[in-house]
Structure 1
């Protein structure tokens, strides 16, 4: 783990957006295409705002979420909705959205087709993750029903996940997809999450799921 501390959140968000833009640009120049996976929630919003205006060949960038709540885009709880409003706008509107939601009763009803779409863009060129105070990342929650399977090296790329802390059923990228990413960044803020990160570094992934990716991650933190 490489830890980066910033004097304030505004600088962190700007520098992180610039870093991701640079890494995507490098991948595009070397490979002609790139993939970016990002978290939902409001914390990364300022990163998205800056990144959406980056001068990149967005038409050759595939963007996917780390995870999604099993709700339609008209829900305020939809990560996809946030992604469209904050990242897939401006120059970045030309990017391809790889969906993690389909109009189906449960994640299991659509997961095979969604996984096929994700697999076409692996390995992820640049992965940005968040982390909860409970040390979850993506929708890999401590105590979740399918967590043990999702942490295995032979896990499928996508899995449905249900946990008391998750609210709705979720769909999430699994540990092998996260660990195969070429560049990994974790964005956290505040003293509580910094303490949780330090705790996670000493625990097994079943207790602290973010631990599955820490050894290859660059962590970006501001109070």
Structure 2
């Protein structure tokens, strides 16, 4: 698996965001020319937010974009801590992607119902064209946390007892996240150094369970690069 990971280290989080933005726009053009649509899975977090702000100012064939989410927190529909609320505010409300092509996780209904509902949406969408993911300081990605056990055949998981609040979440599975033409991890900040080191040394982290057939591209800033 290790040889299929391509590490890209840039000086700052802003440069990471710019590079990832350009990769997304190029992937969109490629997918639309090949099969008429671009299916993108969004991540939450502060650096993805920078990416989305850049995308909101870009010129793209928005009518052919389809948007999905890697995970969501089980909070009320308009709660500021939801990934969908952040993505809508800084990106989706600024561009002409049809609302019918934005597939929000109904996490306000709780983990079980939301996961069941979203499973069919994911099944209909696969394979994705591009998946964006972050990584937590504990090596988690989406809402796949260390020590949590899930049915590996599921496309979505109901998540309980998250070590980070809120405790209840919905997540795409490693199986679903791996079913993509391109996969990009966005990792910034000194707090990620230890997890990057563990990942590189082959430790059993949730990030290491994402195994697409295509190479994984990891964009990180110098702060996250182990010394």
TM range (shorter): 0.7 to 0.9
Partner of 2:157: 159
Distance 1:64 1:101 in 2: 12
Distance 2:108 2:139 in 1: 30
- Aligned residues of 1:54 and 1:92 also touching (Cα < 8 A): no
Q: Report whether the alignment pairs 1:212 with 2:209.
A: yes
Query: What does 1:5-154 align with in structure 2 at a 5 Å threshold?
Result: 5-94=9-98, 96-104=101-109, 106-144=110-148, 147-149=149-151, 152=152
With over 3 angstroms needed to count, the CA separation of the structure-2 counterparts of 1:10 and 1:116, relative to structure 1, is same
Runs of 4+ in structure 1 deviating by more than 4 angstroms, as ranges, are: none
Measured after TM superposition, the shift of residue 93 of structure 1 is: 4.1
Mapped contact 2:140–2:206 kept (Cα < 8 A): yes
Secondary structure of the residue that 2:102 maps to in structure 1? strand
TM-score by length of 2: 0.86
Computed over aligned residues only, the root mean square deviation of the Cα atoms, in angstroms, reads: 1.9
- Report if aligned partners of 2:122, 2:176 keep a CA contact under 8 Å in 1: no
Q: Is the 8 A contact 2:62 2:96 kept in 1?
A: yes
Q: Given that residues 201 and 211 in structure 1 are in contact (C-alpha distance below 8 angstroms), is that contact kept between their aligned partners in structure 2?
A: no
TM-score w.r.t. length of structure 1: 0.88
Contact 1:125 1:182 (8 Å CA) reproduced: yes
Find the counterpart in structure 2 of residue 178 from structure 1.
177
Decide whether aligned partners of structure 1 residues 55 and 191 sit closer, same or farther in structure 2, where only a CA change above 3 A counts: same
Q: For 1:172, what is the secondary structure of its paired residue?
A: strand
Secondary structure at the aligned position of 1:25 is classed as: helix
Q: Does the C-alpha gap of structure 1 residues 40 and 98 become closer, same or farther in structure 2, counting only changes over 3 Å? A: same
Gaps of 5+ in 2: none
Preserved CA contact (<8 Å) 1:188 1:221: yes
Instruction: Identify unmatched segments of 5+ residues in structure 1.
Output: none
Q: Please give the alpha-carbon distance, in whole angstroms, between the structure 2 residues aligned to 1:118 and 1:34.
A: 14
